[in-house]
Chains A and B, each alone.
Chain A
Amino acid sequence: MVENAEPTTTGDLALSVRDLTVALPKGMDRLYAVENVSFDLQRGKILCIIGESGSGKSVSANAIMGLLPNALRVQSGSIVLDGVDVTTSPPHVLRDLRGRVASMIFQDPLSALNPLMTVGAQIEEVMAAHDVGTPQSRAEKALSLLREVNLPDPEVMIHQYPFRLSGGQRQRVMIAMALALEPAVLIADEPTTALDVTTQAQILELIREIQQRKGMSVMFITHDFGVVAQIADDVVVMEKGHIVERGSAQQVLNAPEHPYTKQLIAAVPKMRRDDRETDAPATGVSQLLEVEGLTKTYRTARGMFQPPRIVKAVNDISFDLAPGRTLGVVGESGSGKSSLGRVLMKLLDNEGGSIRFEGQEIAGLSEKAFKPLRTKIQMIFQDPFASLNPRATIGYSLTVGPIAHGMSKAEAREQAKALLERVGLNASAYDRYPHEFSGGQRQRVGIARALMFRPKLLIADEAVSALDVSIQAQILELLQEIQRETGVAMIFITHDLRVASQICDEIAVMQKGQIVEYGPPSQIFIAPRSEYTRELVAAIPGRASDLAEAAQAGSVR
């Protein structure tokens, strides 16, 4: 066991966790959230804790801050933070440590700030809570902090309410707040997961830069080996509440020992620089889908006497798609990629342009006229938890659509069971409910549901974004297999360029409603023509070749 390989203890530890065990409430799928976990955070280093959902990495972080929810309690072990054992300290001592000795930043910057307080007030509050400085010195410090995290116009920013700031800016505010009292330890719980890739790159760089300048110790929690490659000094790999591997970043990335680590690294979507081999020719056959000059505008009414606010979400988009081929639509949030998907599904009406499906113009069709065609275009949704009716059996969710379109019940049932087997589930899943399945399994159900109609075109909107990397790889594999078997064409909408590089024949890069670049992966990733694509590609975490090599070495396939 790796557990026995205790790290060498020097006197230079910012944080030391020993045999930490946190019990889960009764009736959960396991007894402990984390069990006998030990690790050290060296002063002035960045330690990455990596694991998939349910690995116990966030529970460890919250235990260190004394922020565990009431249902969870530390059963045994110790957490020594700056010489104080957190697990045995009374609440007022913990309160004094929080924000002063250890600070924390969270995953979702949009909800982590109080919407009713100005940015400045929230930063000053940390200092006031620990009786540091005077109101005036606190205001000055807040301003200098905002400058330090490179926010534009700090003098203006300090008086702003959070809703005026973008996600990346709010995460900078969180960092400024965490730095206010110059804590010894910064705990970052997936701080870049909710951010766009270019913003993520900036925030990672900021954390690294501040950490080095201040000699701070950072515990960085992530699920992404790309982030690890970019930022970590040391790595701890967690699986189901246990540490399975630890070591320097170099060591873990290049020579992973534990099968789980190898599996995780292998599952990281790798940038493919070559184009996908496919039997389906792009040209010379009749195109399945021809889109020309497609436009969708959002209007927000602002009252009777005012012109509405107009946003061009889809602006003059044109492309063709042949059967059996996959088009990737990539872009950051707000680029219009999801709107494009919905317009193609005719869930939203377009204003201008044409959509020809199998040679037939569908853009102007009424809902009634489109109904027979609707079955041929199917969608796979992002959130496998929200996209299935929790009160309906899987079988019902699968068959209700086809039956409504005239399939007989017996036939629908047969086909549903066959498809459940095809997507790697048991046919007995037919009579079960969504809550009995994991996220990955539900996404398989979602794929089976989409295939019930034998569609010609599948639109997958961030279909693997909510899944852990190992599951992600399996689902991508499944989609490719199905495409080979059925010749279905796919439009794969994603923010993750690495995923897009693996599954797509062509990629459209979208920005502000327009396609700024269109081409095969080899062009997009190796010789991008537009400045924006170059930026996007450069921002991919862990792009450095070490990860690719590590993946080769660690591949278990």
Chain B
Amino acid sequence: MLRFLLNRLVQIVILLVIVSLIGFFILNLIPGGPLAQYALDPGMTADDMERLKEQLGLNRPIWVQYLDWAWRLVQGDWGHSFRDGASVLDVIARHVPATLLLMGSSTVIAIGIGTWVGIRGATHRYSTFDNVATIAAMVALSIPTFWFGLVGIYIFSLQLGWLPAGNMYSVGDQSVLDYLHHLIMPSIVLALVHIAIWSRYMRTATLDVMNQDFVKTARAKGLSERRILMKHIVGNALLPMITLAGMQLPALLTGALVTETVFTWPGMGRLFLDSVSYGDYPVVMGLLMFSAVLVIFGNLLADIAVAIVDPRIRLS
């Protein structure tokens, strides 16, 4: 286990270096550079700009800037926002909980419903339920998340008035119920596409396992159909799904960014868009590194979970 973690740690470090390199240099290819916003200010003189550049260290060669940024990052100093001088870590920490809340509730919904639909689709193959689920999944996969968000707002907020159209809470009322009320629509909208993906994979995995010899053994032992399904089929079918959950994490994260924008959800997505348009490079890089770490550790967790559940895999 320790060796496995050590191996993975080395891989993770290499991966993070590559991600940061690509992110840093592509960001600096954007026309206008980090000071484009200031250049729009009519009060700024060329001298002011030069002074600002020097202050922010932007006059140095780009690889020096990268090494300086990376060295500080390793030491725990993620830099300061160009906009208001706030510490990048503080800025991210303020926005992360909202995103994690959205992603977490969406994951619970997606896995719960997707697993059920997938298993039922497999056990009742080619039934009306299965056919409807198949078509619904295709629809959910073909239509972009933001469209579902807009339609949801139109129907449930504007027409029916059941759910709030945006934000995470109402000003003056921050009870748990109020949070939940605001959470319902964004988390379901974000979950839709993942329900579709999850249910399709789950259906295939279940069908796969149903044809295995050990299921026939279980039947020959005189077990009830219910126990065969729950104990022998579902457990084995869920194994590959753990890995899938890890692999779906980036999609879930990007989906969350879109959903947050639609529902003015105060998470990393909004922060990311604002920071890019403002040219706030330190915050953008900080968000990039944070997402990378999140995704990588999500996958690491998935690998460890598979090893715990599957006795054939031991992390040694």
Contact = CB atoms under 8 A, between A and B. Distances in A.
10 contacts: A67-B216, A98-B219, A99-B221, A114-B217, A114-B236, A115-B312, A116-B311, A129-B223, A304-B7, A305-B7
B3 A113 contact: no
B222 interface: yes
Interface string A20-63: 00000000000000000000000000000000000000000000
Contact of A126 (B214, B221, B309, B311): B221
Nearest to B218: A114
B224 interface: yes
B214 A114 contact: yes
B312 A114 contact: no
A106 B7 CA distance: 41
Interface of B: 3-4, 6-7, 10, 212-214, 216-224, 227, 231-232, 235-236, 239, 309-312, 316
A333 B247 CA distance: 37
B8 to A, nearest CB: 9
Which 4 pairs of residues, A with B, have the shortest CB-CB distance? A99-B222, A98-B222, A161-B311, A111-B213
Interface in A78-102: 95-100
Contact of B222 (A96, A163, A174): A96
Contacts of A98: 219-222
Contacts of B6: 305
B217 A116 contact: no
A129 B212 contact: no
Contacts of A97: 222
Contacts of A409: none
Interface of A: 65, 67, 95-100, 103-104, 106, 108, 111-117, 125-126, 129-130, 161, 163, 174, 177, 302-306
Given A106-B213, A161-B311, 6 more contacts: A98-B221, A99-B223, A117-B231, A125-B223, A129-B223, A306-B3
A421 B111 CA distance: 59
Contacts, number: 82
Binding site of A, secondary structure by majority: helix, strand, loop or mixed?
loop
A174 B217 CA distance: 9
B212 A103 contact: no
Nearest to A99: B222
B222 A303 contact: no
A125 B221 contact: yes
A129 B224 contact: yes
Contacts of A115: 214, 236, 310-312
A304 B3 CA distance: 9
A114 B237 CA distance: 12
A98 B218 CA distance: 10
B195 to A, nearest CB: 26
B312 A112 contact: no
A186 B3 CA distance: 47
Nearest to B312: A163
A501 to B, nearest CB: 33
A117 B218 CA distance: 12
Nearest to A123: B221
Contact of B227 (A103, A129, A163): A129
A368 B13 CA distance: 41
Nearest to A100: B222
Contacts of B223: 95, 99, 125, 129
